[in-house]
C-alpha cells in the first residue's frame, strides 16, 4: 500500500507527497527521514481516503479526533446542534417578512 502524506506548513501552504508501495518490498517496517525547508504545522496520512484504513484516528499529527459514521448517527439521534433554519424557526422569524 502506498503512503500518501499531506504536509501543512505554518505559512498556510500544503504539499502532497506520494511514496510508492515498493517501499515495503524488502521489509514490513520502514524508517524514512523527511527534511523540509519550511516549518511543518501538521501532517495527514492518506488525506484523500484512497487506501483501506479502518482507524482514521491515528492518521494525523498533531492528533485530531475523526467522527465515525456511528458517532454522527448517535449525535443526530440525540438532537445535536440546531441548524440555521431550525434556529430561525424557533426565534419566530419565519414568515415575518
The domain ranges of the chain are 3-66
pTM value is: 0.65
Across the beta sheet with 3-9, the strand order is: 14-19, 3-9, 40-45, 60-61
Q: What is the mean pLDDT of residues 57-68?
A: 85
**Is the model's pLDDT at 97 over the cut of 70?**
no
Q: In this predicted structure, what is the pLDDT of residue 20?
A: 93
Instruction: Name every residue whose Cβ is closer than 8 Å to that of residue 54 and which is 6 or more positions away in sequence.
Output: none
Q: Does the bond joining 62 to the residue before it have cis omega, within 30 degrees of 0? A: yes
Kindly list the distances between the CA atom of residue 67 and the CA atoms of 14, 16, 42, 74, 75, in Å, as whole numbers in the listed order. Answer: 23, 23, 19, 11, 10
Q: What is the mean pLDDT of residues 75-95?
A: 75
Q: In this predicted structure, what is the pLDDT of residue 80?
A: 65
Amino acid at each position: 500500500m502506498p503512503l500518501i502524506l499531506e504536509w501543512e506548513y505554518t505559512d498556510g501552504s500544503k504539499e502532497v507527497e506520494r511514496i510508492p508501495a515498493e517501499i515495503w518490498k524488502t521489509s514490513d517496517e520502514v524508517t524514512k527521514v523527511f527534511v523540509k525547508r519550511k516549518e511543518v504545522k501538521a501532517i495527514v496520512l492518506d488525506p484523500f481516503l484512497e487506501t483501506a484504513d479502518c482507524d482514521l484516528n491515528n492518521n494525523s499529527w498533531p492528533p485530531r479526533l475523526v467522527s465515525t459514521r456511528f458517532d454522527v448517527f448517535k449525535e443526530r439521534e440525540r438532537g445535536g446542534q440546531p441548524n440555521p433554519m431550525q434556529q430561525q424557526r424557533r426565534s419566530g422569524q419565519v414568515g415575518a417578512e
